[in-house]
Structure 1
Amino acid sequence: MAETYYTIGMAGHIDHGKTALTKALTNIDTDRLKEEKERGISIEPGYAPLKTEDGTHVSIVDVPGHEKFIRQMIAGVAGIDLVVLVVAADEGVMPQTEEHLEILQFLGIKRCIVAISKIDRVDGEMLELVEEDIRDRLVGTIFEEAPYILVDSLSGKGIEELKTAISQQLKQVALRDAYGSFRLPVDQVFSVQGQGTVVRGTIYEGAVQKGSQLTVLPKGLSVKARQIQVHNEEQEAARAGQRTAINLGGIEREEISRGDVLVTSDHFLVTDTIDIALKLVDRPFIPLKQRAPVKIHTGTSEVMGRIVFFDRNELAASKKEVLCQIRLDEEIVVRRGDRLILRRPTPVETLGGGWVIQPKGGKYRFGAETVAKLEKIKEGTPVDLLADILQKYIVLDFKELIQHTSLDEAALKEAIGEALSKGILLEIAGQRYSLLNSFSKLTDELKERLTAFHEAFPMRPGPGKAELIQGFSAVYPKPFIEYTLDQAAKDGGLKKADQFIALGSFEPHLPKQWKARMEQIVAALQKDGLQTGKWDSYTTGTPIPKQELLDLTFYLLETGQAHRLTEDVLIHHTALDQSAAELKAATGQAFTLKEAKDVLGVSRKYLIPFLELLDRLKLTVRTDEERKWTEI
C-alpha cells in the first residue's frame, strides 16, 4: 500500500491552547523562537510530526493566532489538508476565531475538526453553551458538519479521541498528486553552520529527489537539493503533502525568501497580473475604490498590488462573486485554481478570497464584454479543462481524467474526441492521454540534452537510456518519456544503440581539440601490428586529459577500430584482420597452437591472447588441441 502524506493545521484565537494541544498530540513544543518563549505566543508557524496508528504520515502546523500575525497564519495554512479549529471552553468564539474561519474557507480548506480545549476549566453547563455557540457560528459554512472533540491538553482528556478523528477525516481527503511537476512554496528560510541555506515548506504537488536541480521562482535562480529532511530525518526524496526542509546548494541565504517557490520544471508561470474570481467577507467594510491598493496572500507569498474592476468603480459588501484583476507590484508564481486571500493594507482587514481563473491576465477594456470574457475563462470548456489538467499532470488515463475534470463519462469522451481531432491531444496507449505540446516540448528538450551530451562527449555513443529517463523523471512521468523516445526513434530524430540513445544524425567521432594527437596514438598502435605494447605506453606523456583517454579507449573498442587482447593491451583492427587472414590461408579448416606460431611468428605472449580473441569473436571454435574456423 502506498504511503500517504498530509498536513493539518491548528487554527484559532490567541491563547486558546493550539500549541499545547499540538504538544499533547506530538510531544513536541512548536514555540521554538526565543521571542515566542518570552512573549508566550506563536510568531512563526511551528511544525511537528504526528504518528497515526494506520501509518499515515501527518505534519501538524501550529499557526499564530494573534491579529498581528495573520500573514504568517495565512502562509501556514496555505498547504494544509485538514484544519483543527481550537476554541477554548472558557472563552468561546473570539475575533481571531472568526477571521481564521473566513481565511480557511477562502483558501478552500474543506475538512475541519472542532477541538474545544481547556475543558477542565469549566463546568458541564458552560461547555454546552460554548459548543452551541460554535455550532451556531458554523451554520451555513463548509464546516457545518465538522465533528466536535472535547480536549484538555494538560490532563490528556480527549487526545486519543482527537487522534482517531484526525485519522478518520484524513481518509476522506483526496491525496495530493506526487506525479505532477514539483512545487514547494517557501515559508521559512535560514542558515545552518557548515550546511548553508535551508528552506522549509509544504510540497503542494510533485516530488523532489536528493541531488535534483531546482529553480527558485520568480527569481529564476538555479539551485541543487543537497539534502532533504522531513521532520529532522534525512530522506532521499519527499513528495506532495509533506512538510520538507531542503538544504540548497548554489544560493546564499539573502537570495531567497518566504514567498519564493521551488520548482523542477518550466511549467509554472511567473506573473504580475492575475484574473481572479473573488468572494467577499460576510460583513460590512469600507468600500474599495477602483485601483485601490490591496495585499494578496497566495501560497506563502504576500504581495501588494492594485485591484481593477471591469463592471464597477467601487466594491462594497455583497454576496455576489466578483470577476476582477489584480495588478501586482512584483511577480509571483501561481497556477489556475490557486487560492488567494485579499486584504486591505490600511486599515488592515481581510476583505475576501477567491481563486485564480487566469494566471497571466491581460489588459482589458472596462465593460460587460470583458466581464463576459472572464466568465467564460472561469467556467472553461470541457476541452479547456482537459488541456489545463494535462498541462499539470502530463499523462492521465480516462479514469484519472474523470476524477480531475469532474466531467461525466460522456462529456469527457466528447471532449477527448474534439481535442484529438484538433490535434491538441495524443492518445499514448490504453486510454492514456497527453498534450501534443507536452510531447513536442519533451522531444525538443531530449534533443537539446543529447546535443549538449554529444558536444561534451563526442566519442561516446550517447547517454544511457536509463540515465536519460532519470534526468527527466522529476518533471515527466517515465512512461511518457519512454513513449516520446520510441516515437522520436520511429521518426528518425533519435536512434537507439543497445542501451544508448543518440541523435539520429550523430556518429561517434574524435574531438576536434585532440583529433591530431589521438590519430597519432591510433597510428602508432596500427604500426605495431600484433606485437603491440601496453595501451598506456601509447598515451604516456600526452597532454590529452585522462577522461578523454578513457573515452578514446571505449570509442576504439565500440567502433571496432581496436580489440582488447588483454586487460591492458589493445590491437588495431587491421592487425586482427591481416593476422587472421594470413593464418586462415595457411591452415585450412583447422590448426594447432604450434601451426599458428609457425605462421604468425610471434611469441606465446601475443599468440595465446590473439587466439583467445578469435574465439571470443566467434571466428574460431576450440576443440581439444585444435581450433576450427567457423567459416571457410
Structure 2
Amino acid sequence: MRNLPFIVATAGHVDHGKSALVEYLTRQVTDRLPEEKRRGITIDLGFSQWSLVDPEQPQITYDLGMIDVPGHEDFVKNMVTGVGSIDCALLVIAADDGWMPQTEEHFQILHYLRVPHIIPIITKADRADADVALVESMIREELDETPYADAPIVATSALSGTGFDTLKSIVAHTLRAHTPHWDQSKPRLPIDRAFSIRGLGTVVTGTLSGAPLKMDQPVVIQPGGITTKIKSIQHHHATQGDVQPGMRVALNLSSVSIRKAHRFEPTKVGRGQVVTDPQLGRSTRCLDGTLERSGRSMHPDKTGSGPLRSGSRVWFHMGSDQILGRIEFPSSQPVVPGGQAAFRLTLERPCFVLEGDPFVIRDGSQQKTVGGGRVWDTDAGSRRFRSRDQQTFLQSMMASDASCGAYLRARLARDHGLHLETLQWLGIWTAKQLAREAALWVKEKHAIKQQGWMLDAAWWAQQVCEAFKDVQQHHQAHPEHPGHPIEPLRTRYLRCLPEASLWKALLESLMTQHQVEQSGDFLAHASHHVAMPDRLQPLADAISRQLKEKPLDPPYRRNLENSPDEGDAIRCLVRMGNLVELNKDMVMAREAFERLLQQTRRFLEQNGPSTVSQLKESLGISRRVAIPLFEKLDRDGMTRREGDLRSWKAS
C-alpha cells in the first residue's frame, strides 16, 4: 500500500455548492465559524481530510487535504490564502447559474498561481431548472485557449450522489499523473491558522511544501526571524513523528506567542508568516518581478478590467500572506488587461518570498484581482529598477519559460557571477537542479567555475583582457616602472568582481593566459624591461654626470632629487641597474659600486675579519659612505657581520 499526500481545494462563485461538495466527499463539515453557520456561506478557509483509494490501482491511496474556500466577493482575499500550495482545484459551477463573476476571478487566481490541475465540477445537476449541457458548453468556451482546455468536466449532485463515482475516478486519474511531492530541502509551511491550546501552547496549521518536518526540529518563523522548535506534530488529528510535503500539518511550537489578527508583530506568530528552515529565503520589503494581466479581464462583466498604473497601491498575495504595497513600472504606460510588464513592488512591511514564487495582486480596495506573476529578485532594493542590467534581466524572465535554466542564464548575464551554494537558498530550485543547469552551461563554454562560483565566460575573459590591457598601458605610460603596482589594480577589480576571493583567480588567469609575471608588488609582462622615458632622459643624464664627478663620495639623495621628475629619474636608473641604492638616502653609480665591492672582497680575503674603520681606509671612502655600503653588503649576503667585524661570506 502506498499513501500519497496531495492538497485539493475548491474554487467558485458563492452559493454554488463548494462546501456541500466537500462535505459529501469527506463526511466532514468545514464551516466552523458561528457567522458561517448563521449566514450559510463560507467566510474563511475550511479544512478536512479525504482518503481516496485509486479505483484502477487499489494499492494506492491518496491522502488528500481538502481546503474549502469562500466564494463571496468580499472574502476572495481569504480564498487566495487557501490555494497557494495546492495540487488540484475543484472549480465548482452551479448548473442553475453557470459561469459567474467569482468563478472567473477564482479561475484567474488559480491560473496566476500556476495550479497544475483544475477539474470543473457542475453541481446541483438534479435541479429542475438545470441545463447541464448548456453549462458544460459554457465551461468549455471559458477554458478554451487556456492550459486547462482539456480538463475533464463532471456533473454532480450532493443530494442524490449523482456523478461522485465519476468524480473520484477523475481525481484519482489526475493525481496519478501528477508528480508526487519530493524532498527539495526547502521546507515551507505558510501559516493559515494560529491558536493556543491550554497545556500545549501555540499551534499553527498550514500546507507543507518543499521538505519534511520532524519533531524537535529547529525552525524559524519568517518574516520576523523567530527561532523556535517543533514540540509535536499532527496530521489530520493524528500525532506524527514527521510529516511530508503535500500534507496539511499542525505544529505545536515552543516559546512563541500569537499575535492579534490583522496586526503584524515581528516577535509573534499568525496567519501570513511561514515556518521554514533558518537558511532558506529572505524577508523583503522591496522586490522585482514580472506581472501578467489576463486578457479575459477586458470583458465588462469580468473582474479586474481597467488599466493598472505605475504608482498604484495594490495588495500583494504570497502564500498565506497579504500585504499592501505600491507598484512601479519601467515607464509611465499603464498595464492593461492582456498585457505584461516588469515591476517593482515596495511593501509596507516585510514578506517572506523565494525567487521564482508565483503571486496574485489585487487592487488597493481588495475588490478586484488585477494580475499575477512571479517574483524574480528579492534583493531589489540594492539595485536600480530602471538600470539596463535589471531591465534586461526582468525582460529575459518575462520572455522565458520561467525554468531553472532560464533563471540561471538571466541571473548570470546580469550578475556575471553566481555562488550556487548561496543561490540554492534564495530561489525555488534545488541544489541539484542548479548544479545540473550550471554543468550544462559550463559544458557549452558559456560559463566557467572558479572557487565555488559560476562565472559568465565572456565576461570573465573580458575582465582578464582588461586587466592585461591595464598592465600594457602602464608599461607604455611608465616604462621606468618595473610593472603595474598590484594594489591599485586589485582595488579597481574588486569593485566589479562578485567576491574579493576571485581576485586571486583573476590574477592566476592573467599570468597563465598572458605571460604576466609577479615581482614583489608589481605585475609585468615577461617581455617588459625598465627603460628611461624621453621626458626624463635629460634629468637622468644630469644626475649620472653629477655622480661621476665624485664617484666614491656621492651626495645625499635629497640633494639630487629636487623635483618629482628627478625622483622618477633616479628610481628608473636604479631599476635599470645604472645606479645602486645603498639605502633610502644614498645612491651610487654602478661602476663605483662594483669597484668598491671587488676591493672589499680582496681586502677581506687577504686580511680576514675587519672593522669599518679598516675597510674605509683601505677603500678610500668616508664613514658617511662606508656605513650604508657595508649595511647593503650585509643585506645582500656578500658580507657577514659579527660584532664590530665583517668577513667575506664566501670565506
TM-score (norm 2): 0.60
Q: CA deviation at 1:196?
A: 1.6
Correspondence for 1:81: 87
C-alpha displacement of 1:369: 5.8
Which of 206, 220, 223 does residue 228 from structure 2 map onto?
A: 223
For the pair shown, which has the larger CA radius of gyration, 1 or 2?
Answer: 2
Partner of 1:380: 407
Distance in 2 (CA, whole Å) between partners of 1:193 and 1:111 is: 40
Asked whether the equivalents of residues 197 and 248 of structure 1 are also in contact (C-alpha less than 8 Å), the reply is: yes
Asked if residue 51 in structure 1 is aligned to residue 54 in structure 2, the reply is: no
Residue 6 (structure 2) aligns with: 6
Aligned to 1:9, what secondary structure does the other structure show? strand
CA distance in 2, matches of 1:183, 1:25: 28
Are 2:309 and 2:334, in contact at CA under 8 Å, matched by a contact in 1?
yes
User: What per-residue deviation string (whole Å, max 9, x for no partner) do you get for residues 437-467 of structure 1?
Assistant: xxxxxxxxxxxxxxxxxxxxxxxxxxxxxxx
> Using the alignment, how far apart are the partners of 1:343 and 1:395 within structure 2?
30
1:114 partnered with 2:133: no
Q: 1:259 offset after TM fit, Å?
A: 0.6
Q: Which moved more, 1:411-420 or 1:142-151?
A: 411-420
Give yes or no for contact 2:442–2:449 (8 Å, CA) kept in 1.
Answer: no
The within-5 A match list for 1:506-521 is: none
Question: Does the CA contact (< 8 Å) of 1:226 and 1:249 recur in 2?
Answer: yes
Structure 1 residues 286 and 127, CA gap change in structure 2 (3 angstroms): closer
2:74 and 2:367 in contact (8 A); partners too: no
Q: Give the aligned length.
A: 418
Displacement of 1:397 after TM fit? 5.6
1:334 to 353, 372, 375: 353
Within a 5 Å distance, the mapping from 1:349-498 to structure 2 comes to 349-362=368-381, 363-364=383-384, 366=386, 370-376=390-396, 379-382=406-409, 387=420, 390-391=424-425, 411=440, 414=443, 418=447, 420=449, 423-424=452-453
Residue segments in structure 1 that go unaligned for 5+ positions in a row: 426-632
Q: Which amino acid aligns with 1:414?
A: K
Q: 1:9–1:80: 8 Å Cα contact kept in structure 2?
A: yes
After TM superposition, give the deviation of residue 129 of structure 1 in Å: 0.6
For residue 263 of structure 1, what is the aligned residue in structure 2? 276
The correspondence for 1:298, drawn from 285, 298, 318, is 318
Structure 2 counterpart of 1:272, one-letter code: R
Q: What is the Cα deviation at residue 316 of structure 1? A: 3.6
Contact 1:383 1:418 in 2 (8 A): no
Conserved? CA contact 1:217–1:270, under 8 Å: yes
Distance 2:181 2:285 in 1: 27
> How far apart are residue 252 of structure 1 and its match?
1.3
- Please tell me whether the aligned partners of residues 8 and 67 of structure 2 are also in contact (alpha carbons under 8 angstroms): yes
SS at match of 1:186: strand
Cα distance in 2 between the residues matched to 1:243 and 1:415:
43
Q: Distance in 2 between matches of 1:293 and 1:123?
A: 43
**Greater Cα offset, 347-356 or 334-343:** 347-356
More deviation, 270-279/48-57: 48-57
Relative to structure 1, the CA distance from residue 138 to residue 265 in structure 2 (aligned partners, 3 Å threshold; closer, same or farther) is same
Following superposition, the deviation at residue 115 of structure 1 comes to 0.8
Secondary structure in structure 2 of the residue aligned to 1:200: strand
Residue identity matched to 2:153: Y
For the residue of structure 1 that corresponds to 2:336, the secondary structure is coil
Alignment match, 2:341? 322
The match for 1:459 is none
In the superposition, relative to structure 1, how do residues 249 and 415 fare at CA in structure 2: closer, same or farther (>3 Å)? farther
Unmatched tracts of structure 2, length 5 or more: 54-59, 260-267, 299-304, 399-405, 413-417, 455-651
Query: Conserved in 1, the CA contact under 8 Å of 2:285 and 2:351?
Result: yes
* Structure 2 CA distance for partners of 1:297 and 1:111, relative to 1, 3 Å: same
Find the counterpart in structure 2 of residue 344 from structure 1: 363
CA, structure 1 residues 375+85, in 2 after alignment: closer, same or farther (shift >3 Å)? same
- 1:448-495 Cα offsets, whole Å, 9 max, x none, are xxxxxxxxxxxxxxxxxxxxxxxxxxxxxxxxxxxxxxxxxxxxxxxx
Rounded Cα–Cα distance in structure 1 between residues aligned with 2:228 and 2:380: 29
Matched with 1:274 is 287
Contact 2:184–2:430 under 8 Å retained in 1: no
Residue 3 and residue 414 in structure 1: after superposition, are their counterparts in 2 closer, same or farther (change >3 A)?
Answer: farther
Cα distance change of structure 1 residues 100 and 383 upon mapping to structure 2, 3 Å threshold: closer
Once the 2 structures are TM-superposed, how far is the Cα of residue 370 of structure 1 from its aligned partner?
A: 4.3
| CA distance in structure 2 between the partners assigned to 1:103 and 1:291 by the alignment | 23
Check 1:24–1:129 CA distance in 2 against 1; reply closer, same or farther (3 A cut): same
CA positional deviation for 1:13:
0.6
Query: Residue 2 of structure 1: CA displacement?
Result: 6.4
The amino acid that maps onto 1:380 is: Y
User: Do the aligned partners of residues 395 and 333 (structure 1) sit closer, same or farther apart at CA in structure 2, a change above 3 Å counting?
Assistant: closer
Q: How far apart are residue 321 of structure 1 and its match?
A: 2.1
* Counterpart pick for 2:201 among 196, 200, 203: 196
Using the size of structure 1 for normalisation, the TM-score is 0.62
Decide whether the 8 Å contact of 1:93 with 1:133 is kept in 2. Answer: yes
Amino acid paired to 2:334: L
Q: Does the 8 Å CA contact 1:10/1:86 hold for their aligned counterparts?
A: yes
Tell me the CA shift for residue 253 of structure 1: 1.8
1:136 and 2:146 correspond:
no
Q: Say whether 1:38 aligns with 2:51.
A: no
Q: What's 1:489 paired with? A: none
2:243 is matched with which residue: 219, 238, 241? Answer: 238
* Cα shift at 1:286: 3.6
Which amino acid is 1:280 matched to? R
Query: What is the aligned partner in structure 2 of residue 159 from structure 1?
Result: 164
Superposed CA offset, 1:389-416 (max 9, x none): 7446997668x966xx6x9xx9467279
Alpha-carbon distance between aligned partners in 1 of 2:335 and 2:431, rounded to the nearest angstrom = 43
Deviates more, 1:289-298 or 1:82-91: 289-298
1:61 aligns with 2:67: yes
Matched residue SS, 2:77: helix
- Which deviates more from structure 2 when the two are superposed, residues 274-283 or residues 73-82? 274-283
Q: Distance in 1 between matches of 2:182 and 2:423?
A: 12
Equivalent pair of 2:307/2:337 in contact (CA under 8 Å): no
Q: What displacement does 1:213 show?
A: 1.6
Q: Which residue of 2 aligns with 1:93?
A: 99
- 8 Å CA contact 2:17–2:92 kept in 1: the answer is yes
- After superposing the two structures, state which structure 1 stretch, 131-140 or 413-422, moved more: 413-422
Task: Tell me what 1:185 maps to.
Answer: 190
Asked if 2 retains the 8 angstrom alpha-carbon contact of 1:180 and 1:394, the reply is no
Question: 1:308 aligned to 2:328?
Answer: yes
What are the within-5 Å matches in structure 2 for residues 531-546 of structure 1?
none
Cα deviation, residue 194, structure 1: 2.1
Q: Deviations over 1:580-627 (max 9, x none)?
A: xxxxxxxxxxxxxxxxxxxxxxxxxxxxxxxxxxxxxxxxxxxxxxxx
Q: Secondary structure at the match of 2:380?
A: coil
